[in-house]
A = this chain, B = another copy of it.
Amino acid sequence: MKILFKNARLLLIEKEEIIFGDLIVTNNIITYVGESKNHQEKFDRIIDVEGNVLMPGFKNAHTHSAMTFLRSNADDLKLEDWLYNHVFPYETKLTESDVYHLSKVAFLEYLTSGVTAQFDMYYFPKAIFEASVDFGMRSVILATPTSFKESIKETKENFINLNNKHELVSFCLGFHAEYTATEAMLIELSEVANELKAPVYTHISETENEVNGCIKRHGLTPALYFDKLGLYNYGGGGFHGVHLTDEDIDVFLKHNLHLVTCPSSNTKLASGIAPIQKFINKKMNLAIGTDGPASNNCLDMFREMFLVTGLGKLKANDATAVDAIKVLKMATLGGAYAMGLHNADTLSEGKLADLIMINLKRPNMQPLNNIMKNIVYSGSKENIKLVMINGRILYEDYQFYLNEPVEDIYKKAQEITDRIKKEYKDSL
């Protein structure tokens, strides 16, 4: 399978520049990036990009995809009330099959938002694996052990069984959070991480309450506590990091950890604003995540990008803070590195063909002044004209090209949602 994209604006994010030219995809690999010319090969399809932008797909570096069933089910609540009374009780009703189907609703939305890979922290990793392969989504699945669900033994088995099994999926070590873990669990996980030489990821310093609770329980902030337990000896990272201290940042720098910011979720749950300009000044590795559809409630990397720069400016009380180009790098390169997808980061020959086309012929992109800044400040799902994952076009001109009808995915998700809500109600 060989596809020629011709007459494109090629966004070389690593160089912060846009060049005019062509791009060729052979099977799942980018095999040509360069000037427009008369190519001699035979192509299965030739796509005239008509001056629109081709760029690396967005990497959604933190999400809980299957939580689509709780989207807009309980909003305008404080985080603890929401999590303990409106999330955990519903989640006990979930089956492996539910997670398989519910994940796909999120995958559909990722396509509409130009997301070509997702870092998915949720229960039933085998279901996420199967859903990713069947759908065609690139997924890095993150272990989610807690004191009440999923053991470290299972986590280790999943790591061994789900890695190197399919080119679209990998699996990482992690845990839900300090406040849902026991120390014994974390010590066991640290032993596994050190044995497997694997990075570890978790929710970290999302709220003030979380940080204060950890200090009360362990005398240390989460980052210092995890470091003490040896969890970061082979790297990893954390999600949110709204309330990281300077000492916590030093832990991130020491272990080259990745910080994934999730501004919509932090905003809607009033958790606070992460000091992104400070993180940039400290040269931390930064990426962006939507968080799950129960807290956000949408999975839209454009909204996240605008918030990363906008809230970063408000936090720094400085409109020059968190330049948009840095944000575009976070959403692409930064995410790829946080997820270990070093071969899906840029439009370069030999890289995986995970790319998107941005439609400049929509009013929010006109007239053309600064295209890269405009993608961050003005871009929206309406600008996603095409999404290719692993060489396969899954979305084009607002239509999905999947192995099953979209309506079937919606129908199944609604049935599951209705069933879980009924089971929950009956259990009261």
Give residues of chain A (232-290) contacting chain B, Cβ–Cβ below 8 Å.
Answer: 264, 267-270, 272-273
Chain A binding site: helix, strand, loop or mixed by DSSP?
Answer: helix
Other-chain residue from B268, B293, B299 in contact with A309 (beta carbon distance below 8 A): B268
Q: Is the CB of A324 within 8 A of B75?
A: yes
* Range of interface residues on A (Cβ < 8 Å): 35 or more
Q: Is the CB of A298 within 8 A of B268?
A: no
Which residues does chain B contribute within 8 Å of A362, judged by CB atoms?
Answer: 112
A368 at the interface (CB under 8 A from B): yes
Which residues does chain B contribute within 8 Å of A75, judged by CB atoms?
Answer: 324, 370, 373, 377
Q: Is the CB of A367 within 8 A of B270?
A: no
- Docked pose: A178 CA to B410 CA in angstroms: 53
A381 at the interface (CB under 8 A from B): yes
Other-chain residue from B73, B378, B406 in contact with A71 (beta carbon distance below 8 A): B378
Which residues does chain B contribute within 8 Å of A16, judged by CB atoms?
Answer: none
Return the CB mask of A51-88 against B: 1 if under 8 Å, else 0.
00000000000000000111111011111001000000
Other-chain residue from B267, B374, B381, B413 in contact with A313 (beta carbon distance below 8 A): B267
Other-chain residue from B314, B361, B378 in contact with A270 (beta carbon distance below 8 A): B314
A349 at the interface (CB under 8 A from B): no
A321 at the interface (CB under 8 A from B): yes
- Docked pose: A70 CA to B398 CA in angstroms: 29
- Docked pose: A380 CA to B379 CA in angstroms: 11
Q: Is the CB of A270 within 8 A of B398?
A: no
Contact A364:B270 (CB < 8 A) given known A323-B76, A370-B73, A382-B381: no
Known: A71-B366, A105-B363, A367-B414. 20 other contacts (CB 8 A): A69-B367, A70-B369, A71-B374, A73-B369, A75-B377, A76-B309, A76-B321, A82-B319, A106-B363, A108-B366, A111-B363, A267-B311, A269-B319, A293-B378, A296-B378, A297-B373, A298-B378, A303-B380, A367-B417, A380-B380
Question: Would you give 14 A-B contacts (Cβ < 8 Å), ordered by A?
Answer: A71-B378, A72-B369, A72-B378, A75-B377, A76-B320, A108-B363, A264-B306, A268-B319, A268-B377, A272-B314, A297-B374, A300-B380, A367-B417, A381-B381
